[in-house]
Amino acid sequence: MFWLKRRRRRLLRMTPLPASWLEIIERNVPYARLLSKEDRDELGEHIQVFLDEKTFEGCGGLQITDEIRVTVAAQACLLLLHRTTDYYPTLRTVLVYPSAYAAPITESVGHGVVREGISVRSGESWRRGSVILSWDDVLHGAADIHDGHNVVLHEFAHQLDQEAGAAEGAPVLPKRSMYVAWARVLSAEYARLQKDAKFGRRTIIDKYGAVNPAEFFAVATECFFEQALQMKEQHPELYEELQLFYRQDPARYSWRSN
């Protein structure tokens, strides 16, 4: 029942994180050090709920530990700060491989011809059920908070996008009135990135985002949190839309990390 879930979540949020978990966050998630005390406290509340509701499974011989669970949860819950959330409602399981893993792919090459192959990946997000992550990439992405690459932020941005249905780069926004500006700004920025990729121009937004609007939203999220000052200066309208959605202003943290 909904009221039972609300009660359980409230009790979980009132439970302080164990000291061992705080040590893991301090060691593996340096971005958390930039947050205010209030935000760190809220992050801890979300972590408690997330870890109570989501199952972790090791793949490729990896044994799941608290270090893995807490490191992933702390980054996934960063996207939930200040927002009304149902904690990635369609997600049930986080699958973790020791390192990048091979996944089969099937793609159409036209004229009814289908090509099969193997893709090496660091993460995936499924609309219902699972997020898949490479533990090596989780650690590497969390360790450097300025490189604009974070596999957990990327895949959980997809989860937010998928809450609206098919991933199309348009997550559920707080107000209906926000969709017009969101569509205008993100469409223009997506087209800009496609041109930058086509002509080999340098950009702070990963050119993988030029693949489709869903990937654009995911890589823009990585950039928003990890290269906030540069995005605010070079892509001010995009930064503003993401700031309104995430209800955070990571550019103000930059002075603390210099």
CATH at residue 17 = 1.10.472.150
- In angstroms, the CA 114 to CA 4 distance is 48
Does residue 159 belong to any structural domain of this protein? no
Neighbours of 63 (CB within 10 A): 8
pLDDT value of residue 121: 73
Identify whether the C-beta of residue 258 lies closer than 8 Å to the C-beta of residue 92: no
Q: Quick check: is 154 in a domain?
A: no
Q: Are residues 136 and 52 in the same domain?
A: yes
Q: What is the pLDDT of residues 12-42, one digit of tens each?
A: 999 999 999 999 999 999 999 999 999 999 9
Asked whether residue 149 is assigned to any structural domain, the reply reads: no
Q: Is the dihedral of CA 90, 93, 98, 101 positive or negative?
A: negative
Query: CA 115, CA 102: separation in Å to the nearest integer?
Result: 16
170 DSSP 8-state letter: -
Nearest in space to 116 (alpha carbons), one of 127, 108, 125: 108
User: In this structure, are 96 and 132 located in the same domain?
Assistant: yes
DSSP classification of residue 71: H
The pLDDT tens digits for 165-201 are 778 899 999 889 999 999 999 999 999 999 999 999 9
DSSP annotation string for 80-123: TTTS---SSTTEEEEEEESS-EEEEEEEEEETTEEEEEEEEESE
Q: 3-class SS at 133?
A: strand
Look up residue 32 and give its DSSP letter.
G
Bridge partners (DSSP) of residue 103 are 119
The answer to whether residues 175 and 251 belong to one domain is yes
Residue type, 105: I
Three-state DSSP class for residue 146:
coil
* pLDDT score, position 115: 54
* Residue 157 within any structural domain of the chain: no
Q: At 203, which CATH number?
A: 3.40.390.10
Is the domain of 129 the same as that of 226?
no
Do 188 and 126 fall within a single domain?
A: no
How many Cβ atoms from other residues are within 10 Å of residue 128's Cβ? 9
| Structural domain contains residue 150 | no
* Pair 104, 232 in one domain: no
Do 254 and 239 form a contact (C-beta atoms < 8 A)?
no
Q: Which two tokens stand for residue 85?
A: 């959330």
> Secondary structure of the chain: what % helix, strand, coil (to 5)?
55, 15, 30
3-class state of residue 124 by DSSP: strand
Which amino acid is present at 87? Y
pTM score of the predicted model: 0.92
Q: Choose the final residue of a domain: 144, 176, 193.
A: 144
Same domain, 64 and 133: yes
The answer to whether residue 4 sits within a structural domain is: yes
pLDDT along the chain (258 residues), means of 10: 86 96 98 96 98 97 98 98 94 94 62 56 85 97 95 97 86 92 97 95 95 96 97 97 97 66
109 and 218 belong to one structural domain: no
Q: Which domain, by its residues, includes 55?
A: 1-144
Do residues 32 and 40 lie in contact, with contact meaning Cβ atoms separated by under 8 Å?
yes
pLDDT of residue 167: 81
Does one domain contain both 176 and 121?
A: no
CA–CA separation, 205 vs 133, rounded Å?
A: 21
Asked if residue 93 lies in contact with residue 55, where contact means CB atoms within 8 angstroms, the answer is yes
If you search the block for the tokens 């992405």, which residue do you land on?
141
Residue 186 counted as domain residue = yes
Q: What is the pLDDT of residue 257?
A: 52
How many domains are there within the chain?
Answer: 2
* pLDDT at residue 109, rounded to an integer: 47
Judgement on whether residues 206 and 244 belong to the same structural domain of the protein: yes
In the block, which residue shows the tokens 């974070």? 150
**131 and 251 fall within a common domain:** no
Do 173 and 139 have their domain in common?
A: no
**Which among 144, 176, 203 is the end of a domain?**
144
